Structure 1
Amino acid sequence: MKNKVIIGSLITTLLAFMLYSLNLKRVQNTSVEIVGQSQSVKKERGKGKLSHEPKVAEVEYPTHVQIASGSDQTWAKQIEKLMGKDQSYQVAVQDLNSGKFARVANTTKAHGVTGTGRLFLLAAVFYQEEHGKLTSHSAIKVKKSDRAKGEKALQPGIAYGTSFLRQTLMQGNKTAGNVLLRKVKPQKVNAMAKKMGASSTKFSKKYTANPLAQTTANDMVAVMDDLYKNKTLSRQYSNLTLGSLNQNATGQKPKLVQKIHGATVYAIGDDRSSVAIIENNGQAYCVAVWSNSNKKFAKLGEVVSNFFK
């Protein structure tokens, strides 16, 4: 009797071990789906690797709005009310005569910009011209590596004048941007931005990179204020830089200034950012914005213009 119990126990143990081994093998080969926010991420057990990385949300803290110390509260509250809490944004407004300002944001880090980033490259090019490193007639040969995909206006092996390259750049030609950036050097663009007060700005090593630069609304205002007051560039070259901002092929204004009329406007922008200087009846102010949506840019420009009427 005792032997039968022992044999039965051994058989039970052996069956349990076989069943455990089969289950363990099945679990090791099973993919587990981890669901997080808007995306599913699959992780294979036993390998410890993600099949693809989850996307990071662009909205940093959409409900936590910060108003910078010293901001005009009336301006700040109107900006906050307009921009709401559905989008991530930064807005900076400054009276260029009195220094009065408002800075409102629910994201503080530097964000990517494309077309607006040309502001920093232009300023660096004109700085080189003012200090004799370039002239408006300097000929720069286009290299094959400069050629942007799909563009044929500028041919490799042919030299073009700096003035022509600047104009072509502002008309949206990326090859011209690559040529000028190669000549000026990305580190010189970054140094120029810092010299003008844009301490959080970093320009890309290639003009065709996306994004072209990382910057903030505060940095964009700092550069425009520097140009308006001729701090880094002389009056002549500051005016040339500002005047170049409006030299686009379509003549269409950035959304930020589309509802502003009867004023002198220097503006540049893209789908997620914009900066402008507006002069009207002896007043001058600058407004800059970055957001992951440009739906409110035109209304923002109109609201800010009302601060100065």
Structure 2
Amino acid sequence: MSSRPPYSVLLDIIKVLSQCFQRTYIVLDALDEIKPDDRDLLMRTLGEICLLNVNLLVTSRRESYIVDGFNGLFLEEIGLQSSKIDADIKLYVSESVKKEPRFSTWSSELREEVEQTLAKKAKGMFRWVECQMEVLKKSRRPYDVKQALSSLPKTLDETYKRILLAIPEEDRVYAARLFAWIIHSQSPLCLELLAEAIVIDLDPDSLLCNSPDSHLHDPAQTLDICSCLFTTSIPLCFFRVEKERCPGHINLRFAHYSVQEYFCSERFKSDFKSDCLLFVRWKR
């Protein structure tokens, strides 16, 4: 039985709370990341919330079902065009370059070239910039940096494709298992569990089957596989009054919704249809 209360109960709670205050604010971030099965119910619920004494702020990509769902609710729409946040992108790139130790040995001219190029081609996508920065960190020579800047991917999909293609051969089977576990898990998985899961060999004839030698030296090595596609978090111990951090427990999840979206898309299947990669078995 699910421990999550139904929308109707949550809506009743919001109705009661909205009457307790002179003004109530609700912020809902990344509405477009809602699971498809929950979309209709959530949109109807939000429609009812809009009729209450509530100030509602919703952030989302401009998806048709969201636009249609809010139609007629007299909400003010604020579009964030890429041209309006170019200055923020440039500041983000500049600060990232300054704070990254690996860039400290680069010439000021090369760092400036990185800042200018990424800010110019970001098209308002902070996530795109973050991925390019991760790739550039691995460059060993100024020549490699300039080559990377001259052939930057245009989209997030193309960025993710390149990252996957760059996975070393010996890590690809681990990467496939890691992606599959995270995609299909109903709740966040801890690093220690994933480190054990990705080395499981189902071949009973394998010499490493159930062998201590099959384990990773350190669970943290899991993070070395496509590190920019993942992020870590330390969950709060909600059953403790002081809400302290749980020691030794680190969850691993995709760094951005667009990563899982790409893996579950027809674009992913098309990108790797003819490639000799591990990904032909990633759903197993």
TM-score range (shorter-chain normalised) is: under 0.3
Larger radius of gyration: 1
Greater per-residue strand proportion: 1
Q: Which has the higher contact order (CA 8 A, sep 6+)?
A: 1
Q: TM-score, normalised by structure 2?
A: 0.24
Greater per-residue helix proportion: 2
